[in-house]
Amino acid sequence: MKAVLVALGGNALLKKGQKESILTQFKNVEKTIEKISVLAKEHVLTITHGNGPQVGSSLIRVEEAFGKAYSLPLEVVVAETEAEIGYIIQQSLYNFLKRHKIDLPVISVLTQVIVSKEDPAFKNPTKFIGPYYNAKQAVELKKQGMHIKADPRGGFRRVVASPLPLKIVEASAIKKFTKEAIVIAAGGGGIPVVEERGNLRGVEAVIDKDLASAVLATDLGVELFIILTDVPCAYLDFGKPTQRPLRRITLKQAEQYIKEGHFGEGSMGPKIQAAINYLQKVNGLVIITSPEKISQALQQRDGTIISRGFTAR
């Protein structure tokens, strides 16, 4: 059976405009599970996922409980949301497999991801997280030492470092587990940690889940790396009158498009970069598409297909 890693985008859990709740996330995940069911039935499957909205909600809880309960550093919030979402996906997938009489365990692995203490991202935090603040609140929070910036979408928000993922601590264990179970891992990009004299220590940061997924896909040596998002494929000139879809492109073409700045840093850019990072080390196939188009994309009739070898068409 082919080894596959599927990176679930945020829309698999919460769609734009939806009210955040556990019930909503269960319903959305169940729909996504239906779409990727063919993979669960026929392949060695590993699943990763994002956690942006969930981290934001958890940080609000931390703020509201200040003085009433012990506070949580960001890396612990990442760990908590990784477990929360892992549970939702794990139970939804378990129920699906049981309904279809497929005897296959599903497990979630809390995953630590090593980053460098010297990563430039720590000197220039840019990743927006958590609740929105007004100008007065922003001034007060800055006085307390928090990094606050104006969010292009309005208001002010906290910004933290988003360092590059270097190594999945639990990669060897995850690889062993995939021989007997569907594994959910590296949720939200994983828990960011640094190495100090052979020991691990958590750091306040968030890791891009697509880049972390690429590291895990490389470690596992999967033959197919699928990145699910809220659009059917990647585009050049996205949102412009000249917008055009990318259907089949080579690794070299993807590298050139990144170099030319065709993709947004907070949207398609990390997904294309993740594909590049994976294909530079593994001679596999990358598919970028939406959950609704996954069946067509697996037949290479939709989505963006990236490989080392073929010519775009």
Domain-embedded: residue 218: yes
Q: How far apart are CA 306 and CA 285, in angstroms?
A: 6
What pLDDT is recorded for position 154? 85
β 156-160/235-236 pair status: unpaired
Check 9, 50, 52, 271 and give the catalytic one. 271
pLDDT confidence tier of residue 40, bands split at 50, 70 and 90: confident
Domain-embedded: residue 44: yes
Mean pLDDT of the chain: 92
Per cent of the chain over pLDDT 90 is: 74
51 part of the active site:
no
Q: 178-193: per-residue pLDDT in tens?
A: 999 999 999 999 999 9
Write the DSSP string, the chain.
--EEEEEE-GGGT--TTPPP-HHHHHHHHHHHHHHTHHHHHHSEEEEEE--HHHHHHHHHHHHHTBTTB----HHHHHHHHHHHHHHHHHHHHHHHHHHTT----EEEE--EEE--TT-GGGTS--EEEEEEE-HHHHHHHHHTT--EEE-TTSSEEEEEB-PPP-EETTHHHHHHHTTTSEEEESGGG-EEEEEETTEEEE-SB---HHHHHHHHHHHHT-SEEEEE-SSSS-EESTTSTT-EE--EEEHHHHHHHHHTT-S-TTTHHHHHHHHHHHHTT---EEEEE-GGGHHHHHTTSSSEEEESSPPP-
Q: What does the pLDDT average to over 115-129?
A: 93
In order of 92, 213, 241, the CA distances from 282 in angstroms are 31, 13, 36
Q: What is the pTM of this model?
A: 0.93
Check 56, 130, 209, 277 and give the catalytic one. 209
Check 9, 50, 86, 127 and give the catalytic one. 127
303 part of the active site:
no
What CATH number did the domain enclosing 245 receive?
A: 3.40.1160.10
pLDDT confidence tier of residue 175, bands split at 50, 70 and 90: very high
11 part of the active site:
yes
Domain-embedded: residue 189: yes
In order of 47, 74, 226, 243, the CA distances from 302 in angstroms are 21, 38, 13, 16
Q: 258-274: per-residue pLDDT in tens?
A: 999 899 777 899 999 99
What pLDDT is recorded for position 13? 87
281 part of the active site:
no
Domain-embedded: residue 150: no
Check 9, 11, 284, 293 and give the catalytic one. 11
Q: Give the count of domains, the chain.
A: 1
- Give the max Cα distance, the chain: 60
Domain-embedded: residue 225: yes
Q: How far apart are CA 271 and CA 261, in angstroms?
A: 13
What pLDDT is recorded for position 310? 61
pLDDT confidence tier of residue 313, bands split at 50, 70 and 90: very low
Q: State which residues form the domain around 220.
A: 3-112+167-307
Domain-embedded: residue 130: no
Domain-embedded: residue 126: no
What pLDDT is recorded for position 69? 94
Q: 134-150: per-residue pLDDT in tens?
A: 999 899 888 888 889 99
271 part of the active site:
yes
Check 10, 50, 86, 188 and give the catalytic one. 10
Q: Which of 56, 41, 179 is nearest to 99 (CA)?
A: 41
Model confidence at 215: pLDDT above 90: yes
Domain-embedded: residue 133: no
